[in-house]
Amino acid sequence: MSDKAIRKIVIVGGGTAGWMTAAPLALKLGPTCEIVLVESPEIGTVGVGESTLPTITYYNHALGIDSGEFVRRTKATFKLGIDFVDWGHLGNRFFHGFGDYGPPIENRPAFMAWQRLARDVKDLPPYEEWSLTATMAHANRFVPPHGEAQSPTNAYSYAFQFDAGLYALYLREYATARGVQRIEGTVGEVEQHPETGFITAVKLADGRRVEGDLFVDCTGFRGLLIEGVYQAGYEDWSAMLPCNSAQAVPSALADVKTPYTRSTAKSAGWQWRIPLQHRNGNGHVYCDGFMSDEEAGRVLLDGLDTAPLDTPRQLRFTTGRRRKSWIKNCVAIGLSSGFLEPLESTSINIIELAVGWLVQFFPDRDCSPELADEFNRLVTQRYEYVRDFIVLHYKLTSRTDSEFWRYCAAMPVSDALQHQIDMFRATGHVAIYDLQGFQVDSHAAIMLGNGLRPERCDQIIERMDPRSLLEHFQKVHATIRQVVGAMPDHGAFLAQVAGTARVA
């Protein structure tokens, strides 16, 4: 081991971000590096992110976590996507699933062929009926992908909906069992090297000092180290994502545990509903410039499916990101790095990626600025790509029933997003900037779901015989119905897994 190797990592802040950082570092570094996590029981966590993307399964697998135990310990349910209600226009409903709309045709996404047929075939079923995930969700069926790689039973992905607080506790057990030292305390001061400016220690309110070589800031919105010490700066995206407030409340267990998250658009934002094994998670994301907190609370409670179990908890935020997430020997992960509203369940995914990049570019005690630059470049891109995807949901609205939605329809967006919208409208194609993020079918789900229809069909698809296309779609439709019909009910499968089984 190099004489400049990192000997001690100090993670400041617990919660989901802190323990999701500690667990893989403990696994990778083992006894070669001391890892300490400092958290204060007096400082609460945001804890609204209970819905995830399919990448969470890879994160858990990399840690060697038993999936059945994970489901039991975190009160998880399975997630096939998001059900959108009243987005685009009142009365509208569409599904963004973790899958496509059938196998590609002429190396084009299948929805392009549906567009071609919909122009000429009367009473053609909606495009979502060629989505396996949407059909499963609507039927409330679930089983993990299985069988051959090209089989319809393997043509989708899934994520989880879970209690983020229980997940953090579960990872805390995992990390401490692998040597991570947990210290309870509140940071009062931060000490720096007088010449390099590197952080050398954090001093707790009771006088204890915790020295380290590398410091990870997981202190949430405060950014105690990245902002409090290094004044990284914050890029405010409120002009494109005006929601700046949320109220969250749990409600009673629903009779039916749906394998999806629901997002219902409201007059000044949207409301989430996340079914767990022991309760429903609910929240109302809104802009306090268009709706008072009192009214927002009423909207939230009026929109619950089940009885509330508490009073709504108020949250404030400013959408955006730190201008730099890695400065000197300090790396910000989680809310200390940036915040995007949970519309597409991306917050935990960004933590996963940031931790992965920290492991990939793990430094020595000199903390090469080139490594920091590359980490910052990747984090910046990720936030910007996700930002644009979320903005897309708002920008395409045709709602005029409130000042909020009129603002969203007229607001400026990034050049990259405007190009994606213009290209889809003109040709049906989607420009993809992020090859590791939301892909063509995800963008199509949001654009088609909000009512955006291409003005022209793809020219290769246009030349195909519509009769053969229709025959192909009829076969796909029949296969999907057959496959879904053979699947168990989501609640029944979940009960089996939560009891004894291991998930595939």
Q: How far apart are CA 409 and CA 390, in angstroms?
A: 14
**Rounded distance, CA 47 to CA 310, Å?**
15
Annotated catalytic residue within 79, 257, 324, 395: 79
Residue type, 36: V
Instruction: Please tell me whether residue 495 adopts helix, strand or coil conformation.
Output: helix
Task: Assess whether 79 carries a catalytic annotation.
Answer: yes
Task: Please count the CA atoms within 13 angstroms of the CA of 322 that sit on its side-chain side.
Answer: 30
**Residue where the block lists tokens 């080139």:** 370
Name beta bridge partners: 281. 250, 274
Q: Is 185 left (phi over 0), alpha (psi -120 to 50) or beta?
A: left
d(CA 25, CA 17) in angstroms, rounded, equals: 13
CA-wise closest residue to 483 among 54, 139, 79: 139
Q: Which two structure tokens, joined as six digits, stand for 179?
A: 């040597």
State the alpha helices, DSSP H only, in 317-364: 347-360
How does strand 326-327 pair with strand 34-39? unpaired
Where would I find the beta strands (DSSP E) of 80-185? 81-85, 93-97, 159-161, 181-184
Contacts of 417 (CB under 8 A, 6+ apart): 388, 391, 392, 395
Q: How far apart are CA 101 and CA 490, in angstroms?
A: 21
Q: Please report, to the nearest 10 degrees, the dihedral formed by the alpha carbons of residues 208, 212, 216, 219 taken in order.
A: 10
Parallel/antiparallel/unpaired status of strands 280-286 and 245-251? antiparallel
Q: Are 339 and 318 in contact (CB under 8 A)?
A: yes
The helix (H) or strand (E) run that includes residue 381 is: helix 369-395
Residues forming a β-bridge with 427 = none
DSSP per-residue codes, 426-488: HHS----S-TTSS-HHHHHHHHHHTT---SS--HHHHTS-HHHHHHHHHHHHHHHHHHHHTSP
- Which residues are annotated as catalytic? 79
